[in-house]
Amino acid sequence: MIKRAALIGLGTMGPGIAARLSRGGLDVAAYDVSDVAVERASGMLDIAGAILDRLDIKAPASGAGTVRFVRTLAETVDGAELVIENVPENIDIKAETYRAIDPLIGSSVIVASDTSGIPITKLQAHISHPERLVGMHWSNPPHIIPMIEVIGGEKTAPETVATIRDLIRSIGLLPVVVKKDVPGFVENRVLYALLREALDLVERGVIEPEDLDTCVSWGIGYKVAVIGPMALLDMAGLDIYKSVSSFLNADLSNRDDVAPMVLEKTGLSKFGIKSGEGMFSYTPEQIKALQGERARKLVAVRRILEGQE
């Protein structure tokens, strides 16, 4: 069983991943090229730990693991049985990371990428033991959302996929094995299909952004949190789906470029919460309140779905 993990790249997901792995009993060495990212991650650990407490996620009988922040790649991967790459979503940056760690790790060490959608097969071209490279896609926030996608590339050994699947399960999370290495895997393909239609409806003036969010959160989202899409088809009836999709599918957005609304806003450096404005505008006080409120609600929903309340 894997007991020592290295986490390269802290960013948005890093603190939650480190906290959840250590709560599961793993010792984690964490690294980022940015001192600011390291300082932020260090400050987030206690917050993530408090949320794990609220979820009643306990350490194994052997005890919780540790998280230590280190200053070099060599120190990060030293003795690690699993290396999780969590650097920016850019294939060149990821390839550079693999080339840097390649001479520092043994052939038995598993390297898992937290890429959101770059095919694992493409990443395997940049590492000397591609059979040990696997996708391990966490969902944000990673210390709250229990589902993790496991993706093998063309050269990933079946035992590598099995090891990561079993590790995820052993620390109380939910592994989902994606059987084909398609761009975006499964979670983001479904999400981006929804976002494409949502943006199209707003751009066409069918609905205001606030009402679109209400419609999805309290309609689709409320149901899908309890009844997955395949089960929902059965609940609604495949005959109904056949009838409605026969005319509705032809009218759904099928654009294969980026929505003009997104291009316009990103061109003005309006990226969302990180810049204070995106689809909506945010004050620093609102951002802090939103983060706390959303975490609280996600915790409450998860406890209910798990039958804890």
Per-residue pLDDT tens over the stretch 215-235 = 999 999 999 999 999 999 999
**What confidence category does residue 309 fall into, taking pLDDT thresholds of 50, 70 and 90?**
low
**Token pair of 112, please?**
């898992």
Tell whether 32 is in a known binding site: yes
Tell me how far apart the alpha carbons of residues 112 and 34 are, in angstroms, rounded to a whole number. Answer: 21
* 167 & 210 share domain: no
* 36 & 162 share domain: yes
pLDDT digits (tens, 9 = 90+) for 128-184: 999 999 999 999 999 999 999 999 999 999 999 999 999 999 999 999 999 999 999
DSSP E strand boundaries for 49-161: 67-69, 82-85, 110-113, 133-138, 147-152
Tell whether 140 is in a known binding site: yes
* 165 & 196 share domain: no
Last residue of a domain, one of 178, 195, 220: 178
Instruction: CATH number of the domain at 202, please.
Output: 1.10.1040.10
Compute how many other C-beta atoms are within 10 angstroms of the C-beta atom of residue 18.
31
* 153 & 215 share domain: no
pLDDT digits (tens, 9 = 90+) for 181-205: 999 999 999 999 999 999 999 999 9
- Strands 67-69, 82-85: parallel, antiparallel or unpaired by DSSP? unpaired
Tell whether 13 is in a known binding site: yes
* 288 & 170 share domain: no
The CA–CA distances, whole Å, from 264 to 108, 261, 271, 280 equal 47, 5, 10, 14
Tell whether 205 is in a known binding site: no
Tell whether 309 is in a known binding site: no
Residue span of the structural domain in which 11 resides? 4-178
* 128 & 159 share domain: yes
The DSSP secondary-structure symbol of 136 reads E
pLDDT digits (tens, 9 = 90+) for 62-92: 999 999 999 999 999 999 999 999 999 999 9
* 223 & 129 share domain: no
Last residue of a domain, one of 178, 199, 222: 178
